């Protein structure tokens, strides 16, 4: 009797900022790996999420939003997104149909995808936010904008359509052995995920009071016998922003820490001691060394 076929391959999830790429990755994996916020450009790096079944392993690459920019930090984010498309087996092109009901002339993401020659599945997202009478013409407009392998409308938030999307992905994966152990869900370190969880809470608590360029640096990360101990510094660009992050009598920093501690405890499965401080670096988004370090582009497991 012949052995069953095993399929494995790399899939890049790409799109404009706020298209729902991180929400989709978390939905497909069935657990939280990428941080999510209402702000554009929340994801700064490519994040590998490993989907495992006995007969398949799909390696999803969540990427920063592709957009026109001249800022060093943003350019590095776009480089990370475009670099993730090298040598993948399939691209999922997410489109937020609520914010972008029709493709723009010379759409940057579409141009990049067409130039790549890679197989692309068009994934209109957030279909639950569009009246059904408007949905079909909208999907048709996007489907006619490129040469797509398939078109799979979804709501990453509710999960509607994601099972069908996963089937489309699996049929396009080549035969091959798994690239990672079957119990592994990512290639990033726990230290990196912890820094992202703190940054997510800062975004949620501060809303739009501090720019998205806030950064988090984990200075100490230690797994003790019965708990995890984390010391981290939140970096901002101005003294006025530092005051906002700390809040009156430390109230905002405490709120950020409480939310982050809960998420870290869920991740690690044990009690967490989290100590947060705030630092000011006026030029961290413009100095290459600081961008690489605080933007986590040089992290372990990242090329």
Tell me the CATH number at 259: 3.30.300.20
* Domain co-membership, 140 together with 223: no
Task: Flag whether 226 is in a domain.
Answer: yes
Q: How confident is the model at residue 204 (pLDDT cuts 50, 70, 90)?
A: confident
* Domain co-membership, 12 together with 141: yes
* Domain co-membership, 13 together with 154: yes
| Whether the Cβ atoms of residue 276 and residue 261 lie closer than 8 Å to each other | no
More confident residue, 211 or 62: 62
pLDDT over 70 at 294, yes or no = no
* Domain co-membership, 163 together with 35: yes
Task: Flag whether 185 is in a domain.
Answer: no
Domain total in the chain: 2
* Domain co-membership, 166 together with 197: no
> Given its phi and psi angles, is residue 147 left (phi above 0), alpha (psi -120 to 50 degrees) or beta?
beta
Task: Flag whether 178 is in a domain.
Answer: no
Range of the domain at 263: 190-294
pLDDT in tens, 162-192: 999 999 999 999 999 999 999 988 888 888 8
Task: Flag whether 46 is in a domain.
Answer: yes
* Domain co-membership, 195 together with 280: yes
* Domain co-membership, 127 together with 220: no
CATH number for the domain harbouring residue 14:
3.40.50.300
pLDDT in tens, 60-104: 988 765 544 445 455 555 555 556 567 789 999 999 998 887 887
pLDDT over 70 at 33, yes or no = yes
Which run of H or E residues covers position 290?
Answer: helix 288-294
């Amino acid at each position: 009797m012949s052995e069953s076929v095993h399929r494995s391959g790399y899939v890049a999830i790409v799109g404009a900022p706020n298209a729902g790429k991180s929400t989709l990755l978390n939905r497909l994996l069935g657990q939280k790996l990428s941080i999510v916020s209402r702000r554009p450009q929340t994801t700064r790096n490519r994040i590998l999420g490993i989907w495992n079944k006995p007969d398949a392993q799909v390696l999803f690459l969540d990427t920063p939003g592709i957009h026109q920019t001249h800022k060093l930090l943003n350019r590095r984010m776009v480089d990370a997104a475009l670099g993730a498309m090298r040598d993948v087996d399939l691209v999922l092109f997410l489109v937020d149909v609520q914010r972008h009901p029709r493709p723009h002339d010379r759409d940057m993401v579409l141009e990049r995808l067409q130039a790549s020659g890679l197989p692309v599945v068009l994934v209109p997202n957030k279909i639950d936010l569009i009246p059904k009478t408007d949905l079909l013409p909208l999907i048709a407009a996007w489907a006619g904008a490129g040469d797509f392998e398939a078109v799979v409308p979804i709501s990453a938030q509710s999960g509607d359509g994601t099972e069908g999307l996963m089937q489309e992905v699996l049929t396009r994966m080549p035969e091959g052995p798994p690239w990672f152990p079957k119990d592994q869900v990512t290639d990033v370190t726990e230290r990196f995920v912890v820094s992202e969880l703190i940054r997510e809470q800062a975004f949620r608590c501060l809303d739009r009071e501090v720019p998205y360029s806030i950064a988090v640096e984990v200075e100490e990360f230690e797994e003790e016998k019965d708990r995890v101990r984390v010391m981290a510094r939140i970096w901002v660009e101005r003294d006025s922003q530092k005051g906002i992050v700390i809040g009156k009598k430390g109230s905002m920093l405490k709120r950020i820490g409480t939310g982050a501690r809960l998420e870290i405890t869920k991740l690690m499965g044990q009690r967490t001691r989290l100590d947060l401080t705030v630092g000011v670096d006026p030029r961290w988004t413009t100095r290459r060394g600081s961008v690489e370090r605080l933007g986590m582009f040089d992290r372990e497991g990242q090329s």
